[in-house]
């Protein structure tokens, strides 16, 4: 298209320029005599054609700029600096100055700067942006950490193993860039057609000029205008404006509704969609843990279980603790004073309320630390876990009192959206980095039967 536009506008412009120079030389006037129009000038033809094409390209660039926001957001996930131990000094260095083998300190609330292996300490890390795992993951010495993930609770030191373009997040950014820069198969066909179309149009235009000027005997002006007309009419300049405008409106409307459209090709093929794959965390679910169940096992009321659990968790830094504390706060549960509070890494917490010492945490805490059996309550606990919930148990040294279940809950609109798509005959899939049991539990709540679990970002 650009070749035809360039030839057509160039012929119109230079022919008009030569005519104008001749008119000025013969009439000694820069404007038409007595206000008359200078004949055979076609500057406006060239100007309007170029203006429309440039406007089209501007609108297309603007539409593409919207989709590039995805890459900018991914880049925003990267840490800008790292706290590096070198010799006896602890230095805050720009991320590009970190080298493999550096020991890096990460404090609570900070982003992990690069990929590496923990050498000292431990924490709970939010890896949802990489793995899709909705709940923070406990990390200890010799565990791998991923650059861009968020440290929730403890401080730790890790050894940098992958830096710069080698990190997991950089690889994801590269995948998105490659996806946005890729060509659809139809574009290759269009390129092959244009390789023949443009020379054919130029040949027909030259033939038209020759017939009018040499055979019919028309004037040079008329013959050149016939030549230009063939080129301009054959050129799909309307598409140069209409197509980018349609892309801009389509991608803009999609962006307003939270849908990222890579460009014209995906937009064009949207009408042919027969299957949709939804990510779980933050798409079908809210992306943050909430209390879903409170169970009593030893005569205490559910309110009393929640009161003791929330009192203990108020002093904890664990992400699940925040969910329990907020739930109690919303229910106006009065919290008790806790003495001798202590966190037990990887297990849970303990503390004294009144004169009784309570333990609150996972199965390991109750079985390995408190030394109580959970066989009597296994069925209830398993039932909750099969629904994709994380179960925390409340106990004293003598008995298990109850349980609190926490899960990443489904958005209110997810089931309705899935049903609407299924009614249109579209197959709906759910893909997640979460474990199979949690994935199936969430999928069943929204009516999805096709589930892909434990899928890494590059596999997505």
Domains defined for the chain, CATH in brackets:
1-73+182-240 (no CATH), 81-170 (2.70.150.10), 275-283+410-459 (3.40.50.1000), 293-405 (3.40.1110.10)
DSSP, residue by residue, 325-350: HHHHHHTTPPPPPEEEEEEETTTEEE
What average pLDDT does this structure show over 188-209? Answer: 80
The answer to whether 279 is a known catalytic residue is yes
Backbone angles phi, psi at 249, to 5 degrees: -65, -45
Q: Which single residue is written with the structure tokens 């504390």?
A: 325
* Pairing, β 285-296 against β 338-344: unpaired
pLDDT of 10 > 70? The answer is: yes
pLDDT in tens, 219-267: 887 888 788 788 877 766 555 556 666 766 777 677 667 676 766 677 7
What average pLDDT does this structure show over 275-294? Answer: 85
Q: How many CB atoms lie within 10 A of CB 135?
A: 22
Residue 149: HSE in the Cβ half-sphere, 13 Å Cα cutoff: 28
Q: Which residue(s) pair with 150 in the sheet? A: 111, 126
pLDDT of 443 > 80? The answer is: yes
- Choose, from 279, 293, 303, 336, the residue flagged as catalytic: 279
pLDDT of 389 > 70? The answer is: yes
Under a CB-based contact definition with an 8 Å cutoff, are residues 229 and 42 in contact?
no
Better-predicted residue by pLDDT, 117 or 252: 117
pLDDT of 182 > 60? The answer is: no
- Average pLDDT over the chain, rounded to an integer: 82
What average pLDDT does this structure show over 131-159? Answer: 83
- How far apart, in whole angstroms, are the C-alpha atoms of residue 407 and residue 416? 20
Q: What was the pLDDT predicted at 178?
A: 62
pLDDT of 47 > 80? The answer is: yes
- 192 token code pair: 């092959």
What average pLDDT does this structure show over 395-402? Answer: 91
* Pairing, β 348-353 against β 150-151: unpaired
Three-state secondary structure call for residue 292: strand
pLDDT in tens, 80-96: 889 999 888 888 899 88
pLDDT of 314 > 80? The answer is: yes
DSSP, residue by residue, 13-51: HHHHHHHHHHHHHHH--SS-GGGPPPSS--HHHHHHHHH
pLDDT of 419 > 90? The answer is: yes
pLDDT of 338 > 70? The answer is: yes
Three-state secondary structure call for residue 297: coil
Q: What was the pLDDT predicted at 37?
A: 79
pLDDT band at 204 (very low <50, low <70, confident <90, very high): very high
Residues sharing a CB contact under 8 Å with residue 247, sequence separation 6 or more, in sequence order: 59, 60, 63, 263, 264, 267
- How far apart, in whole angstroms, are the C-alpha atoms of residue 297 and residue 310? 17
Better-predicted residue by pLDDT, 363 or 254: 363
Euclidean distance between the first and the last CA atom of the chain, given in angstroms as a whole number: 37
- 386 token code pair: 């099969």
Least confident span in 119-128, 190-199, 400-409, 446-455: 190-199
Classify burial at 132, counting beta carbons within 10 Å of its beta carbon; exposed 0-12, middle 13-18, buried 19 or more: buried
pLDDT in tens, 320-329: 788 898 888 8
């Amino acid at each position: 298209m650009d070749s035809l536009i360039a030839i057509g506008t160039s012929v119109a412009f230079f022919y008009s320029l030569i005519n104008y120079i001749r008119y000025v030389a013969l009439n000694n006037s820069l404007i038409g005599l007595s206000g008359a129009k200078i004949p055979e000038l076609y500057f406006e033809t060239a100007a309007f054609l170029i203006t429309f094409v440039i406007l089209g390209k501007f609108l297309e660039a603007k539409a593409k700029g919207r989709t590039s926001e995805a890459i900018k957001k991914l880049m925003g996930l990267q840490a800008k600096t790292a706290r590096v131990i070198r010799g006896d000094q602890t230095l805050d260095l720009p991320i590009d100055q970190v080298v493999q083998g550096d020991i890096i300190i990460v404090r609570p609330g900070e982003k992990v700067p690069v990929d590496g292996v923990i050498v000292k300490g431990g924490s709970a890390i939010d890896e949802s942006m990489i793995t899709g795992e909705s709940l923070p993951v406990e990390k200890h010495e010799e565990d791998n950490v991923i650059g861009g993930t968020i440290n929730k609770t403890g401080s730790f030191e890790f050894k940098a193993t992958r830096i710069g373009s080698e990190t997991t997040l950089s690889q994801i950014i590269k995948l998105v860039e490659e996806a946005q820069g890729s060509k659809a198969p139809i574009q290759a066909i269009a390129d092959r057609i244009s390789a023949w179309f443009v020379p054919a149009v130029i040949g027909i235009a030259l033939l038209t000029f020759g017939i009018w000027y040499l055979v019919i005997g028309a004037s040079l002006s008329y013959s050149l205008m016939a030549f230009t007309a063939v080129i301009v009419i054959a050129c799909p300049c309307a598409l140069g404006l209409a197509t980018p405008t349609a892309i801009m409106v389509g991608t803009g409307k999609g962006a307003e509704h939270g849908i990222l459209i890579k460009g014209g090709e995906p937009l064009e093929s949207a009408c042919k969609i027969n299957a949709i794959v939804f990510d779980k965390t933050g798409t079908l679910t809210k992306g943050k843990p909430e209390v879903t169940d409170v169970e009593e096992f030893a005569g205490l009321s559910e309110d009393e279980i929640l009161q003791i659990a929330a009192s203990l968790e108020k002093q904890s830094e664990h992400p699940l603790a925040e969910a329990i504390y907020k739930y109690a706060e919303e229910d106006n549960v009065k919290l008790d004073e806790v003495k001798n509070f202590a966190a037990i890494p990887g297990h849970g917490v303990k503390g004294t309320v009144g004169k009784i010492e309570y333990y609150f945490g996972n199965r390991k805490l109750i079985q390995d630390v408190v030394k109580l059996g959970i066989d009597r309550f296994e069925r209830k606990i398993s039932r909750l876990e099969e629904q994709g919930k994380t179960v925390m148990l409340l106990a004293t040294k003598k008995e298990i009192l109850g349980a609190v279940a926490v899960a990443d809950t489904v958005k209110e609109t997810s089931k309705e959206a899935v049903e609407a798509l299924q009614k249109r005959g579209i197959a709906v899939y759910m893909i997640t980095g979460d474990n199979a049991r949690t994935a199936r539990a969430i999928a069943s709540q929204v009516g999805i039967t096709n589930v892909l679990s434990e899928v890494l970002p590059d596999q997505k």
